[in-house]
Structure 1
Amino acid sequence: MRLLWILTTFILITQTASAAPGAHGPNGEHITNDKQVAGQSGRQADGSVIMPMPDQAMLGITTNIVTQSIVSETIKMSGVVRPHPEGHAVVQPSSDGRFEAPESGVLPSGKKVSAGQVLGYVRYQDTAYELASQNSELQVVRNQIAQTQRDVNRLESLGELASKQELDQLQTRLKNLTEQEQALQQGLEKPETLVAPISGTIINNDIRSGQWIEAGTDLFEIIAPDLRVIDASISNLSHLASLTQARLLENSAAKLSYIGYSPRIAGGLASVHFEHRAAASATEPLLLGQPVTVIAPVDSSIEGLVLPAEALVKNSANLPVVWIKVSAERFMPQIVRYQMLGEQSIVITAGLGADNRVVISGASLLNQVR
């Protein structure tokens, strides 16, 4: 019996010694372990969770003592991915006509194209009367060319007896008629060739072979893979002058350079614009129209507790909380206010005191214990 009493006392002393040092609330109040019930695990009446040490190891729950630090303040803005003017091209016909596919066929959206690649042809189609009239005009011009060519050959055969001035006039007339024939032939017999202005990914705006199209219609769009513009909205106009660079919450590898802001306010919000030039090895493309969250530093600092983003979870009331370790097997949730520092980290600005042992890994699993 004495040996059992000594062993029980040793276990209790060990658990007390391994408790989180100085666990306390945001106002310095001490959080005790009085409500822990021996042998009872899971969610407690006060919202805390008791979890044996083997279960903590199995769920990968790790903690760290947090301290106050000063970091650059950041602002969060909602944005949308737009095409960059340098990396966005449209293919339009200059006249009405029917679309004809190239030898490779009509290119579907998503296909990669190179600058100068033929995308299709537009063949102008007149009415029967217009076509007959233009063909008649072309035939007249060709007859005049044939007659003029015979006159030139006749004068050239006379040699020095021919009038130099008359020969020059006939040669000039022959040249003009030839150019006129080429212009008429281009409109009647040769279609307009559509080529890709830049290299990139093509967007087919529902174009099919034989389709009648009008001049100025956007048949295709070509998007360069490495150029984007991010349009974001900001309400605090005092930050406009301090923006320089930014990053995306959804894609930390995407680095943004500040272009400027629109001189017009819409709905009380200013529109700011960032440029993104992707590296050749980028694996996460930004799609046009994709909603994103822009994180940008500003010229001010903030004091708080820096934690990994995975330490923050939501409670049943959808409020942000972090879990602090009160003792070896007891965890307590703390409602906090925070700001994002990027995709991987946050700063707690209220609700949590320094020197607490905070769960930095496995918080989402701990939060689901019932």
Structure 2
Amino acid sequence: MRTLTVLVISMLLVGTAAAAPGAHGPNGEHIRPDDKPVGGTGRQADGSVILPMPDQAKLGISTAFVQPQTVSKTVRLPAVVRPHPQGHAVIQSSSDGRFEAPGSVVLSTGSWVSAGQRLGYVHYQDTAYELASQNSELKVVRNQIAQTRRDVARLKALGELASQQELDQLQTRLKNLSEQEAALQQGLEKPEVLTAPISGIVVNQQVRSGQWVEAGTALFEIVSPERRRVEAMASDTNRLNQYTSARLLAHDLPELTYTGYSPKMHGGTAKVFFDYQRQNPGEPPLLLDQPVTLLAKLDESVTGIVVPSRAVVRDQANLPIVWIKVSAERFLPQQIQYQALGPDRVVITQGLGADNRVVVNGTSLLNQVR
């Protein structure tokens, strides 16, 4: 009789443990007694995992109760980092000539320059005919200046007998000739000065001191690290007016602002543009022409359960799952459908109910238990 009593109590204890608070399936249903595993610890025949509490601590497993919430809908967009129009400058020569570096030091790629800083000079190289023609013209102008000065001196010597109107005309002519002489002299001697229109990092386009350059050739680029434009490709043209902002996956950077889209199609897709503004000097740099993935927010909402992205793993069929804790030592895998919300968050839209205890840390290790 005593043996029978002990057996009944043991069965009651087992039944109580199986139906303890928190022991429920993905949609809130209680685990039935006949669902309990029959094996020892580790992976069970039904796919669940039995893991003692000490082992859970070793794997760093922790859980969190989850509730549905409404968040902005997102889409993934392939993109490329481009220079921002207001943070990018191209330095070109306006005429053919020979490049000369300031102080004999050519700025190399990666150098920092400030707005207004001299980047170099371009000396125009005249042909023998052009040089002779300019010298001849300069000589004629100087002769005219000398003659005009003599005429002015002659009139001034006449005193009151001189015509004031004629004197004024000669002085005006003398001024114009002097300006013409200065312009001709400058054309022969003064080089074109190349200056930086903005502050930023220099990109040297393989220019060297003494190199012959042609008009319109790009010698330097200056890129400001403060701003970037991210160019993304969107296949769904019905959503071009629904984008609000975006985040870069795999980059811990501030949100990007949506600025608009190109009115032309490019290879069957539309180009959409997001602007990046650096907020902290310690932020990792975005390199030009760097391929990135954008997680763009839409002016739409979706209801689901938000969990850390590390809570989602793949099963043997390569389907996304989360692990829920149905009892103190039992974990159950649950197939889900989800959307990314950022580099570290996802929203589960199907497959998970409210008030579940979802494994949020140690999920990858738990998924490997056999």
Residue by residue, what CA displacement relative to the aligned partner does 1:257-282 show, whole Å, maximum 9, x if unpaired? 22222222333322222223332556
Residue by residue, what CA displacement relative to the aligned partner does 1:201-230 show, whole Å, maximum 9, x if unpaired? 222222211111111122222222222222
Residue by residue, what CA displacement relative to the aligned partner does 1:76-115 show, whole Å, maximum 9, x if unpaired? 2222222222222221111111111112722222222221
In 2, Cα distance between the equivalents of 1:138 and 1:92? 29
Bigger mean CA deviation after superposition, 309-318 or 81-90: 309-318
Bigger mean CA deviation after superposition, 206-215 or 283-292: 283-292
CA distance 1:360–1:143, change in 2 (3 Å): same
Indicate the SS of the match to 1:241: coil
Residue by residue, what CA displacement relative to the aligned partner does 1:136-192 show, whole Å, maximum 9, x if unpaired? 332333343334334433433443344434433332332222222222222221000
Contact 1:88 1:223 in 2 (8 A): yes
Per the alignment, residue 230 of structure 1 pairs with: 230
Bigger mean CA deviation after superposition, 238-247 or 55-64: 238-247
Is residue 130 of structure 1 aligned with residue 130 of structure 2?
Answer: yes
Contact 2:18 2:31 in 1 (8 A): no
Structure 1 residues 1-370: aligned runs within 5 Å:
16=17, 21-25=22-26, 30=31, 34-35=36-37, 37-38=39-40, 40-41=41-42, 48-103=48-103, 105-251=105-251, 253-279=253-279, 281=281, 283-369=283-369
Bigger mean CA deviation after superposition, 13-22 or 131-140: 13-22
Unaligned runs of 5+ in 2: none
TM-score normalized by structure 2? 0.84
TM-score normalized by structure 1? 0.84
Bigger mean CA deviation after superposition, 136-145 or 56-65: 136-145
CA distance 1:223–1:34, change in 2 (3 Å): same
- Provide the identity percentage: 60
CA distance 1:186–1:52, change in 2 (3 Å): farther
In 2, Cα distance between the equivalents of 1:151 and 1:369? 108
CA distance 1:174–1:52, change in 2 (3 Å): same
| Offset at residue 29 of structure 1 (A) | 9.1
CA distance 1:177–1:18, change in 2 (3 Å): farther
CA distance 1:353–1:123, change in 2 (3 Å): same
In 2, Cα distance between the equivalents of 1:18 and 1:106? 78
CA distance 1:129–1:352, change in 2 (3 Å): same
Letter paired with 2:305: L
CA distance 1:105–1:319, change in 2 (3 Å): farther
| Offset at residue 361 of structure 1 (A) | 1.0
Aligned residues, how many?
A: 362
